[in-house]
């Protein structure tokens, strides 16, 4: 019966629907936040979307600060700068507003501002999270504007250590936002490239969670429905960014992927994390490039499961049919087929390839890959993604 031994966690309160951003002042009050720090990225900070949201706070007479020094792959310097603003403004909570980077950094500011230990002491390793002073963690209201990472319903955040050029996953149960406002209208302005990359990130989360070993039938069910939503709606959102139905379904799929991957991830993320840290690539698009190569590597362990998934999706041909469907979707979204297509002037000698494989092997996602990973195996998948060999 040891197979049926697991631990299940589920998301927080999500206010989902078009126009629900108007409830932000009420959500802050419900979360007990009186003076929030509004954390977003520099691109969004310049757009009317942020201005109109801040007007909602002004109208409700909410006193707030704004922080937007957030890199696409946030680093410790961004975190330290945000904490300084949080403390200087005597804020008591965070509104994390934007894509995965802004959501992750906003969550980390709320988490780390009250801690005395370095943020790296709370990496997702064993019970390291218990080192944190839970009472010092500020509440968070998360507002996603993309449909990919699902960070709004996650208990972790990713931060790049610039000293070691590695992405670290910081974990604590109270990194989970108190309230989420998921308003699909906020994602209407996403350009096609970001729509594709974030959407493929959601697909990667669902696919790897579904394929991860372990007993978690609820995560499996969420993952397969999340994949259906992606396959049916991502092409529509990519082709027409104003398709609010497609946007809504993708925002739901993103949250579903992040809920499902508590079961585990795999080599797609193991390889994507070091490549993103070293080359500053878009995380979701990097996942999209690696996806078919990892799927092929994992075939011996997942072929039967993918066959059941294909039947649910209405895809003929079992594993092969599903693999073709993934390739077709990538092509439709203009995802590069190889890493050189993603990274301009890619320079990767034997030493760099070995380093990436070594970093991938140490990544927390590696342990839940359905086929045991070795440095040699990861180097092989990396080479295939460079050469385009399936």
Residue 346 is predicted with a pLDDT of 87
Q: Is residue 287 located within the same domain as residue 312? A: yes
Q: Is residue 173 located within the same domain as residue 200? A: no
Q: Which of 53-58's residues contact partners 24+ apart within 8 Å by CB, and which partners?
A: 53/21, 53/24, 53/97, 53/143, 56/21, 56/22, 56/24, 56/25, 57/24, 57/25
- Per the structure, the complete domain to which residue 278 belongs is given by 192-387
Domain boundary among 160, 187, 214: 187
Q: What is the CATH number of the domain that holds 277?
A: 1.20.1090.10
Note if the pTM is more than 0.85: yes
Residue 167 is predicted with a pLDDT of 86
Q: Is residue 81 located within the same domain as residue 230? A: no
Domain boundary among 148, 164, 187: 187
Residue 2 is predicted with a pLDDT of 55
Q: In terms of Cα–Cα distance, which of 17, 7, 23, 95 is closest to 59?
A: 23
Residue 3 is predicted with a pLDDT of 60
**Under DSSP, is residue 39 helix (H, G, I), strand (E, B) or coil?**
strand
**Which ranges of the chain would DSSP assign to H, the alpha helix?**
24-31, 42-45, 48-59, 76-88, 100-112, 192-211, 217-239, 244-260, 267-279, 283-313, 318-332, 339-342, 350-362, 375-387
Q: In terms of Cα–Cα distance, which of 112, 120, 160 is closest to 136?
A: 112
First and final CA of the chain: distance in angstroms? 38
Residues 269 and 258: their CA atoms lie apart, in Å, by 13
Residue 347 is predicted with a pLDDT of 85
Number of domains comprising the chain: 2
Q: What is the CATH number of the domain that holds 153?
A: 3.40.50.1970
| Structural contact between residues 356 and 330, judged by C-beta atoms closer than 8 angstroms | no
Q: In terms of Cα–Cα distance, which of 203, 197, 204 is closest to 228?
A: 203
Q: Is residue 124 located within the same domain as residue 155? A: yes
**Which ranges of 35-178 would DSSP assign to H, the alpha helix?**
42-45, 48-59, 76-88, 100-112
Q: Is residue 165 located within the same domain as residue 206? A: no
Domain boundary among 125, 154, 187: 187
| Structural contact between residues 250 and 231, judged by C-beta atoms closer than 8 angstroms | no
Q: Is residue 54 located within the same domain as residue 88? A: yes
Residue 122 is predicted with a pLDDT of 97
Low-confidence ranges of the chain (pLDDT < 70): 1-7
Residue 1 is predicted with a pLDDT of 47
């Amino acid at each position: 019966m040891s197979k049926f031994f697991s631990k299940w966690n589920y998301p927080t309160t999500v206010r989902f629907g078009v126009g629900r951003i108007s409830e932000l002042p009420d959500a802050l009050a419900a979360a007990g936040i009186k003076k929030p720090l509004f954390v977003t990225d520099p691109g969004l900070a310049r757009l009317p979307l942020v201005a109109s949201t801040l007007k909602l706070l002004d109208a409700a007479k909410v006193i707030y600060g704004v922080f937007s020094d957030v890199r696409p792959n946030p680093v410790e310097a961004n975190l330290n700068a945000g904490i300084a603003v949080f403390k200087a403004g005597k804020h008591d909570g965070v509104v994390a507003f934007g894509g995965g980077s802004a959501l992750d950094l906003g969550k980390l500011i709320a988490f780390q501002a009250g801690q005395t230990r370095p943020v790296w002491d709370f990496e997702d390793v064993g019970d390291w999270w218990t080192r944190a002073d839970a009472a010092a963690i500020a509440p968070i209201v998360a507002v996603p504007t993309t449909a990919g990472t699902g960070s709004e319903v996650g208990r972790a955040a990713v931060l790049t250590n610039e000293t070691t050029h590695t992405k670290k996953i910081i974990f604590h149960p109270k990194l989970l936002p108190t309230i989420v406002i998921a308003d699909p209208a906020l994602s209407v302005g996403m350009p096609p490239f970001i729509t594709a990359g974030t959407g493929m990130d959601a697909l990667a989360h669902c696919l790897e969670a579904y394929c991860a070993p372990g007993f978690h039938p609820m995560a499996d069910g969420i993952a397969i429905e999340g994949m259906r939503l992606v396959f049916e709606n991502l092409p529509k959102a990519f082709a027409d960014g104003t398709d609010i139905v497609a946007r809504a379904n993708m925002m739901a799929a993103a949250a579903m992927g992040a809920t499902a991957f508590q079961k585990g991830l795999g080599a797609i993320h193991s390889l994507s994390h070091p490549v993103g840290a070293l080359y500053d690539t878009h995380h979701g698009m990097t996942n999209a490039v690696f996806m078919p190569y990892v799927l092929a590597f994992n075939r011996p362990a997942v072929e039967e499961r993918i066959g059941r998934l294909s039947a649910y999706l209405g895809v003929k041909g079992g594993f092969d049919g599903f693999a073709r469907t993934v390739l077709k979707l990538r092509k439709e979204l203009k995802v590069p087929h190889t890493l050189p297509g993603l990274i301009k002037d890619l320079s990767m000698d034997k030493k760099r390839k070995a380093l990436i494989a070594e970093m991938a092997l140490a990544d927390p996602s590696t342990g839940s890959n359905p086929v045991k990973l070795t440095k040699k195996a990861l180097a092989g998948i990396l080479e295939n993604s460079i050469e385009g060999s399936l």
